[in-house]
Amino acid sequence: MTRTLAAQHQRFALHTPFRISRGVKSAADVVTVTIREGDAVGRGEGVPYPRYGESVEGVLAQIAAVAGSVEGGAGRQTLLALLPPGAARNAVDCALWDLEARLGGRSVAAMLDSPAPGRIASALTIVIDTPAAMARAAAAVARAPLLKVKVDAVDPATQIRAVRSAAPDAALIVDPNESWDEASASAMRDVLVEARVALLEQPASADADGWLEGFDAGVPVCADESVHVAADLDGLAGRYDVVNVKLDKAGGLTAALELASAARARGMGLMTGCMVSSSLSIAPALHVAAVSDFVDLDGPWWLREDRVGGVRDDGGMLRPAARGFWGEP
């Protein structure tokens, strides 16, 4: 049967600005890949991320460069050599998983010999704002089991305390998005302990995180920007306790599962994360989330309108997409 690949840019407006230490965004720009073979259609989504030198145009060009190979029958393992880790490979890889499930009449869960994704606790993000505004945002979702608190290096202590006061029972992940240096982290140690923070995510720049080796942050430290694929793990020894597995960083579900397995083999904790995205990015990530200690898949929560049949948030509990949305025949 003839196989065809198409890729397009889609934009999803956000209902609220998403502010982190390196900037603010008002829309999610994604690249959607569709692979058709006979009557079967597989879909995947990638989110180009400027932090990693990606753009919509660049990702579309990467996909166009391998379209002929994929249309000629190249599979997921071959794709690992055709494209580097990133949003382009993620979109194509996930579309191939979806297509394989539909052609074979077996779900991705069955292909992985694992249970179908179920309802799971997933962090809701409190973005950077004034401490009073962050407290109000936290109070609105205070019953959620897990919150992620975005901070910078200006006044993180007040921001964290404001959220903790408004949400006394939620577990907290604090994410400075690479904005702290060693002095900042040292000054924040007692605050993190006082606020009962469960995880500190990527406090230092990935290009200058050597000081984390042997550093006592008072709480477990998670690598995000410092780890993309399994090959990166050797450089994390002594610096991080947990790794954040994101399909857009790893370049698809195939490489993300490899990273998760390799991290567990090293005795590291796992977190599953995402970019601000639609549910088409989240559905594949649920297969990594099922084996993770922390889950942060609230990308679609920020959209004014998600894809039909996508995942749903229920007070910080993530419900899987409708049957047949992705990865099921």
Catalytic positions: 150, 246
Strand, helix or coil at 325? coil
For residues 285 and 262, what is the distance between their CA atoms, to the nearest angstrom?
A: 17
Strand, helix or coil at 196? coil
Number of Cβ atoms within 10 Å of the Cβ of 315: 11
For residues 255 and 246, what is the distance between their CA atoms, to the nearest angstrom?
A: 10
Q: Are 182 and 207 in contact (CB under 8 A)?
A: no
Q: Are 104 and 329 in contact (CB under 8 A)?
A: yes
Which residue's structure tokens are 């799971």? 120
For residues 322 and 204, what is the distance between their CA atoms, to the nearest angstrom?
A: 38
Alpha-carbon torsion (163, 169, 170, 174), positive or negative? positive
Q: Are 300 and 103 in contact (CB under 8 A)?
A: no
Distance of CA 329 to the CA centre of its chain: 25
Q: Phi and psi for 271 in degrees, rounded to 5?
A: -130, 140
Q: Closest Cα to residue 289, out of 324, 244, 321?
A: 244
Amino acid in the structure at residue 189: R
For residues 32 and 37, what is the distance between their CA atoms, to the nearest angstrom?
A: 17
